[in-house]
């Protein structure tokens, strides 16, 4: 008897929810805003789907409707990826400890 690959993906999904649960509870509350911006950035990994969709089909017809939606999704996800990681970086750079010698 063979197991449907869907079950494997479902296992990954469920386990990742648990990982997420424990990891996020350990995030310090003062970093909740960077947490939101970084989760924003990483959820834009949806861009891999957009890339596949955009580059699908033969070269003769790269601007099929399906491709266009793919390209649009690439732009949106790219805004998010660059914007999300950079703004997170900008925020995290501001968190400083008290200077000991002063």
Partner 1 sequence: MSANLLAVFYLISGVLFILALRGLSSPETSRRGNLFGIIGMIIAIGVTIISIGNFSTGFIFLLIFLLLGGSIGAFIAFKIPMTAMPELVAGFHSLVGLAAVFVAISAFLNPEVFNLGSPGNIKIASLIEMSLGAAIGAITFTGSVIAFFKLRGLMSGSPITFIGQHFINLALGVSLIGLIIYLCNTQQEYLFWSLIAISFLVGILLIIPIGGADMPVVISMLNSYSGWAAAGIGFTLENSALIITGALVGSSGAILSYIMCKGMNRSFFNVILGGWGATEESSKTVSTEQKPVKNGNADDAAFLMKNASSVIIVPGYGMAVAQAQHALREMVDSLKKNGVKVSYAIHPVAGRMPGHMNVLLAEANVPYDEVFELEDINNDFANCDVAYVIGANDVTNPVAKTDPQSPIYGMPILDVEKSKSVLFVKRSLSPGYAGIDNDLFYRENTLMLFADAKKMTEEITKSL
The residues in 42-61 that bind partner 1, with binding defined as CB under 8 A, are 42-57, 59
Binding positions for partner 1, 62-81, rule CB under 8 A: 62, 64-67, 69-81
Q: Residue 1 or 80: which CB sits closer to partner 1? A: 80
At how many degrees (to 10) do helices 32-43 and 65-92 cross? 160
Question: According to the binding rule CB under 8 A, does residue 7 interact with partner 1?
Answer: no
Question: According to CB under 8 A, which one of 1, 2, 97, 101 is a site residue for partner 1?
Answer: 97
Quickly list DSSP for the chain. Answer: ----HHHHHHHHHHHHHHHHHHHHHTS-GGGHHHHHHHHHHHHGGGHHHHHHHHT-S-GGGTT-HHHHHHHHHHHHHHHHHHHHHHHHHHHHTT--PPPS--
Which two structure tokens, joined as six digits, stand for 90? 């900008």
Q: Is 28 in the site for partner 1 (CB under 8 A)?
A: yes
- The least CB distance from residue 1 to partner 1, in Å, is 18
Q: Shortest distance, CB of residue 58 to partner 1, whole angstroms?
A: 9
Using CB under 8 A as the binding rule, whether residue 29 contacts partner 1 is answered as yes
């Amino acid at each position: 008897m063979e197991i449907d690959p869907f079950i494997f993906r479902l296992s990954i999904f469920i386990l990742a929810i648990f990982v997420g649960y424990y990891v996020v509870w350990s995030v310090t509350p003062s970093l909740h805003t960077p947490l939101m911006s970084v989760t924003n950035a990483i959820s834009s990994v949806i861009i891999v789907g957009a890339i596949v969709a955009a580059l699908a089909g033969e070269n003769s017809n790269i601007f099929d409707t399906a491709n266009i939606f793919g390209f649009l999704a690439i732009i949106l996800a790219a805004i998010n990826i660059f914007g999300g990681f950079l703004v997170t970086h900008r925020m995290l750079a501001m968190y400083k400890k008290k200077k000991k010698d002063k």
